[in-house]
Amino acid sequence: MNNYHLTIKSLFLIILFINGISLFAEVPRRPFLFKDARGEIAQARARGEKEVLLVIASMPGKNINVARLIKQLSGTVQYQDDELDYLRALIPIDQLQSIVGNDDIHSIDLSMHNRSRAFGRAFAPDNLSDSKPSQNSRDVKQKSVVWPPKLSDYPITNRYNPIKDLRANEFLQNNPTYDGRGIKIAMIDMNADPLLPELQDATSLKGETIPKIFAYGTALDARLDDDGRWLKMEQIVEAKSNKFQFNDKEYIAPKNGQFRIAQLNELIVDSLALYGSSIEKDLNRDGNPEGSSRLFTVIWDKKSNNVWVDTDQDLKFNDEKALTDYDIRPEFGVFGKDDPDTDVRESIAFALQIIKEKNLVSINMGKERHATLVVGAALANRGTDGRFDGVAPGAQLINISEGGSAYGQIESPIISVKKYGADVVYFEHSSNITRNYLLRDGRLVATVIYGRLIEKHKPIILSPTHNYPILGGIDDIVLAKGIIGVNGHESKNNFFTNHGVRVEYDDNLLITGGYGPMGNGAFKPDIISPSNYVSTALGFLEGRAIPGLFQLPAGYTIAGGTSTATPTAAGAVALLLSAAKQNNLKYDPDIIKHAVTRGARWVPNISAHKQGNGVISVAGAWEILKKRKKKNNKNITIEGKASVKHSYSHLLHEPHRGEGLYERTGWKVGENQQRKIILKRTSGKSSAMEFNIEWEGNENGTFSSQSTIKLPLNKEVQIPVNILPKSAGEHTAHLTITHSDSKDFIYRMLFAIVAPKVLDSSNNYSIVDSVEVPRPGLQSYFYKIPEGAGSLAIELNWGERKVSLATSNPDTRSVQGKIHNKDNGVLKIIHNPTPGVWEIRLSDIMDTREFDWQQAKKIEPVKPTKATLKIKTFALSIDEIEGNNATAEEDKNVDYWVTNQMAKFNGSPVTTAFGTAWKEKINIKNKEQKVFEVNIDPGSQAFMAKAYGYDDTKVDLDIYVFDCTEEKCEPAKVDADPKGQEIVYISNPKAGKWKIVIDAFSMDDESTSFEYLDAVFNPIYGTLNVLDMPQDRLANSKWIIKTFPWRSGTIPKGRIPLKGLMIKSDIIKDNFIPIDFIQIGQ
């Protein structure tokens, strides 16, 4: 692949139509940067960076104009595709706002990786279960004595095969050639291990054996991402008598003449691994004996385009194989020498990628864990030496590594489809660029470009909904027009085969995944797909083990998450395409998605917003495709609109309206309300058509409506829907439109509401719930947190089995809080919780990591795990007693009234270090960012930064705090909620330089003023001593405390003294912990 600086320019503008819908019917433009991007700008400013990297979706036909604008603003266009109207560009950070909102631009996002996302900092998602191997045999030996002494490899010798749950058994038995042959599948991940026996063979449509790997390269740009692979071949040596000198060493050349030369450093390759180390700083697997070199010399004959790598480090190239770009000659080289008598392979493969005009050679190494463990699910081929077939063993692989950044994850699919002709594409790792885009409305740049790629080139693209199992937590890219969004499924057989645990239902939701609806209420996921079963793994590392249960050989693991569900579904789609090609059936992305979604298998015991249309069924989809050929019919299309209410629904293109009904707020248990949705039929007969209205997944009859509806063509019709939540929690269902002429449904709209339990004065801001957590599985609970809470306390207690706890605030970001572990339980304290509906997620998933031998011997299913969940909010106020007259004198004794405004606790205010503060009134323009710097002294107990004193109904300011005590500033904490005053409080901050960035995200006027304050609390400035004793403090109780300030040290110039009090409670027995901090005075 020769595209280092790729420019694809169309000679003339072509407008393509698919099923009568033009490209211009795409999602409306987004003329602003959302908070995920603005957080990255704040981080760039804190680091002193002068440029930011943008990915841009231009308006159709306007790409050339945008490229010209970028150059006028002193920017640099690095990648340009005028057919898709996509750009990648570097632009000066101070010019960024000049381009945002330009009429020629659809949407803009920042492309960053290898750093924490600032907007998500302190809200990083809890990873319950992903595709990562949990343990290898070396770990097992260190941790426990296993029984029996010789572990079984049962999961691979009796491998769970998803073909049955995919309903593809009979399909393949009757048609063994429908095995994916003739189909190229592109994996958007890093480079997989190409030496695995399952990745050697594929099959052509003629039945010939062909290489499995069709393309193998990278979309990483050497100017941006140096992960060690790209070698700058700038130096030249000349071989005479087949010898040359380089770096004081003599080499034997493969021939005489000039060569360009560089060295690959295994230390750099490993240290910059994007998804964690896999080669253990040992590329050639020699164990790095003392005195051994870590460098591998590479020479390139530019004229012949041949490359030699000194893989054995013997300074000889005449014993090395001449390689060239994989596109020209698809061959792999090998570092290390394998010992056939060992289970673990002692070698790592690589392929070359050459950009001749730039004198660049990339050594693309097959060393990435994640890519390797998911690829086998899609297309592994047992061949002669392998252990299993994937879903589509006949298919070929396109593997263009993406690097984890927005540009790589956009450009890798473009290259895979446009250059290599991928029929099917499946994404991995896209949560890296989409997780913090909380609008989830289809207007992310990647989403827009994927939709255009599908429309113009017709690949079938599948995307994971990702492993963030909360209501409305799916990543934006599944909204691209034509993409199939995939969540995970796990059968009863699968659970027992791989984990030795018996469950109740034949079909189950995977223990992690992504749940709908989307931020605009849209219906997702589309389907669920099998996951969590034996797949491929790196052959140069030991296989996965679970103590007491099994040990897999090298090259194999149990791969899970939506990371495996998606390639499983991709393999199923490849079977359908292979069959369609062999039967001369015409298809496009719309036809395939229609067949896959209508042919899916509904599972009654899984919630509607978690399963979408059900388990993907090859047989069901194939029947629909065959009938389509006979009838040659066109789909009837219906569009819908409904109410959407969540933290950012006001930023939707049509505020608070979307494609489905999604309301996280405004509901109470037992309260009956009515909502009106709008339906519009956009194709079919010119006269009105009558349809049936049905409900799926409507547990307890929460939603009800009329049973029929007449829809004229291209006219909106309102339908009233009655909604009555009879219990607390989430309530979801599908409103399904059917017609008597079709067995398939015509249209579905997802309904989702939340009726939370409310913490208020009626329950003294305290709720105790006895709960049962599915085993293995997850269960969410919803609580409404009141305004003014100083802290939220979540206490979880369990019996014999541990239960895990995760929390999400009202805008769906995960909140870590301060964790206090205790016997058979855990306490999480979250300071300054955002008011609104919180989701608390409990899980018992240890059966997927540890073997319960006693339970495995039982016939009956495992019972749910009992636990107790206690939710409390605390808030206190401190008021000076009238008559003290000492407010302005910081060193005078003062008495205060303390009022407990919320939950009962046992405790009191305690002696607290004095603070020094910087305080000023600041004027800030809309979209402007202000940077502040503070030096924190050693031994500081706390740091606080605030932006306040403005009208939060008209102004949305955000505050980002960065730890700059090391070489680079790293995001420490953020308060970026859409409403309320912004405050960040950090306990025991590191000594050194810190930076604070205030971002004016939005405001009604051109500018506003606000009060800024940052404060450092440290005993070197003195202490505010408190005379009070811990005791029970009832809700609304009031008591007097006496304070005795003790001043010491010197207040830094320009700063003012500040007093505050920490409130502590023995919420954990015999352990007083902070539950609130109250600033005294202004």
pLDDT at 149: 41
Of 740, 690, 752, give the one whose Cα is nearest residue 717.
Answer: 690
Alpha-carbon distance values, 937 to 287, 1048, 1079 (Å): 45, 14, 20
Q: Decide: helix, strand or coil at residue 1027.
A: strand
CB 167 within 8 A of CB 505: no
Distance, CA of 140 to CA of 551 (rounded, Å): 10
* Residues linked to residue 752 through DSSP beta bridges, in sequence order: 662, 732
pLDDT at 549: 72
Distance, CA of 540 to CA of 554 (rounded, Å): 7
Q: Which amino acid is at 459?
A: P
Alpha-carbon distance values, 53 to 76, 620, 891, 999 (Å): 10, 45, 52, 19
Q: Which amino acid is at 835?
A: P
Which residues, other chains included, contact 303 with Cβ-Cβ below 8 Å and sequence gap of 6+? none
Alpha-carbon distance values, 929 to 41, 881, 896, 970 (Å): 9, 40, 38, 17
Alpha-carbon distance values, 931 to 122, 258, 798, 922, 1016 (Å): 20, 53, 46, 12, 17
In the chain, which residues have pLDDT < 70?
A: 1-24, 113-114, 121-151, 271-277, 432, 547-548, 630-634, 883-890, 1070, 1082
- Is the backbone peptide bond immediately before 517 cis, with ω within 30 degrees of 0? yes
SS (H, E, C) 156-224: HHCCCCCCCCCCCHHHHHHCCCCCCCCCEEEEECCCCCCCCHHHCEEECCCCCEEECEEEEEECCCCCC
Which domains are seen in the chain, by residue range?
Answer: 7-110 (3.30.70.2980), 137-219+368-631 (3.40.50.200), 230-365 (no CATH), 638-755 (2.60.40.10), 757-874 (2.60.120.380), 877-1080 (2.60.120.380)
The H or E element that residue 1045 is part of is strand 1038-1047
The H or E element that residue 373 is part of is helix 369-379
pLDDT at 272: 59
Q: Decide: helix, strand or coil at residue 856.
A: helix
Distance, CA of 1071 to CA of 505 (rounded, Å): 43
Q: What is the pTM of this model?
A: 0.94
Distance, CA of 368 to CA of 277 (rounded, Å): 8
Of 194, 537, 556, 212, give the one whose Cα is nearest residue 365.
Answer: 194
Distance, CA of 148 to CA of 264 (rounded, Å): 45
pLDDT at 630: 65
Distance, CA of 328 to CA of 1074 (rounded, Å): 65
* Helix spans in 419-506 (H): 431-434, 445-457, 492-499
CB 3 within 8 A of CB 356: no
pLDDT at 732: 98
Alpha-carbon distance values, 994 to 37, 509, 963, 1012 (Å): 21, 44, 5, 15
Alpha-carbon distance values, 57 to 37, 400, 437, 440 (Å): 15, 22, 16, 17
Distance, CA of 559 to CA of 538 (rounded, Å): 12
pLDDT at 135: 42
DSSP structure string for 872-886: EEE-EEEEEPTT---
